[in-house]
Structure 1
Amino acid sequence: MRQLILGGVRSGKSRLAERLATACDAPVTYIATAEARDDEMAARIAAHRAHRPAHWQTMEAGVALGAAIEAAAQPGTVVLVDCLTLWLTQLLCAADADTALPQQREALLDAVSACQTELLLVSNETGMGIMPMDALSRRFGDEAGRLHQDLAACCERVILTAAGLPLVLKGDPL
């Protein structure tokens, strides 16, 4: 089953994804998208690493997230991707964003659509706030919204988390 887990910052979306991955009782590959570009992000990444079970395999995707999912999606395994909005931010900030973003977005959607193993996709829901003042932030909101809609269409379950509580928007209840 392919699942998209959305929520705001500190909503519990990553913890929910980790709990769902553990419940599958299968080998887990955790695909990380964050890059430690400053000390605060490095500390966040370290905290996430320390929290994950030691027997989980970790892959660092960079911008080639679709290729990472394809490589990790082996029969009888669980693939957990955390998080799509960090991946999107890195693409939008790349020097070649206008060409890389559409190519990598298409590769991601193809990989998710073709995935035959348990797939958990974590992403920040950012479309519930005010309209940002600058062009890059508005583009990010637009791109994240379109990406979430396209992923929701090809996932069997979509969950919105708030205050640590899951609300199933699409698919079977938890």
Structure 2
Amino acid sequence: MAVILITGGARSGKSLHAETRTRALGPNPVYIATAQAWDAEMAARIAQHRDRRGPDWHLIEAPLDLCAALDLCGADPALIDCLTLWLGNLMHHDRDWAAEVERLCAALAARTAPVVLVTNEVGMGIVPDNALARAFRDAQGTLNQRVARIADEVEFVVSGLPMRVK
């Protein structure tokens, strides 16, 4: 089993790097998408990701239940893109995000097939000016720390260049 966490800033090249890593882990890669197309701009971003990946990926859309999505992957390598959008979805739907993070970490620890996870580093800038944004930033930091703790590898991507952290 391999749990690989890919982190970095927005538009840093995380997803492309994660796709490359996942393809190298075995045939029949599964893409677990957490994004939802709330507007035309987001729909265009999702389409761009799909076009770049190509047709050889099996797609599972899982905006809330990553554990169920991982169960559907079987022995195939999985890519979860991304934890940041997943967390936002949980918070938007008033879910207990901390409990969901613990569920996800347990599922990752129990998984026997490789999984690559993409996340964002959101706490490297200025302190947000409102309570909701600060709560999200703090929750994202907690989520990233929990997954990084159990990950076999952690990479930080900056300007398209991956740096091994763990």
Give the structure 1 partner of residue 3 of structure 2.
2
Percent of counterpart pairs with the same letter? Answer: 44
- The residue identity in structure 2 corresponding to 1:43 is A
Q: Which residue of 1 aligns with 2:84?
A: 85
Distance 2:63 2:89 in 1: 8
Q: Spell out, residue by residue over 1:62-89, the C-alpha distance to the aligned partner (whole angstroms, 9 max, x if none).
A: 21112211221x22x2100000000101
Q: Please say if 1:139 is aligned against 2:131.
A: no
Letter in 1 for 2:83: L
Give per-residue Cα distances to partners, 1:120-160, cap 9 Å, x unaligned: 00011111111101111101111110111110110100000
1:13 matched to 2:14? The reply is: yes
SS of residue matched to 1:143:
helix
Q: Which residue of 1 aligns with 2:151?
A: 155
- Amino acid of the residue matched to residue 69 of structure 1? L
Residue 162 of structure 1 aligns with an amino acid whose one-letter code is V
Q: Which SS does the other structure have where 2:165 is aligned? A: strand
- d(CA) in 2 for partners of 1:62, 1:166: 26
Q: Which runs of 4+ in 1 moved over 6 A?
A: none
Whole-angstrom CA distance in 1 between matches of 2:131 and 2:71: 33
Task: Quote the residue 1:28 is aligned against.
Answer: 29
After superposing the two structures, state which structure 1 stretch, 102-111 or 31-40, moved more: 102-111
Task: Kindly provide the amino acid, as one letter, of the partner of residue 32 in structure 2.
Answer: I
Residue of structure 1 in register with 2:69 after alignment: 68
Distance across 1 between alignment mates of 2:105 and 2:72: 15
CA contact 1:4–1:123 (8 Å) conserved in 2: yes
Matches of 1:103 and 1:70 in 2, distance apart? 18
Preserved contact between residue 67 and residue 107 of structure 1 (Cα < 8 Å): no
Unaligned segments of structure 2, at least 5 residues = none
Q: Distance in 1 between matches of 2:64 and 2:99?
A: 10
Number of residue-to-residue matches in the alignment: 165
TM-align CA RMSD: 1.1
Extract unaligned runs of 5+ from structure 1. none
Quote the residue 1:104 is aligned against. 100
Question: For the Cα contact (< 8 Å) 1:34–1:45, is it kept in 2?
Answer: yes
Q: What CA distance in whole angstroms lies between the structure 1 residues aligned with 2:7 and 2:66?
A: 18
Displacement of 1:164 after TM fit? 0.4
- Contact 1:63–1:104, Cα closer than 8 Å, also in 2: no
Distance 1:65 1:25, change over 3 A: closer
TM-score (norm 2): 0.95
SS of residue matched to 1:142: helix
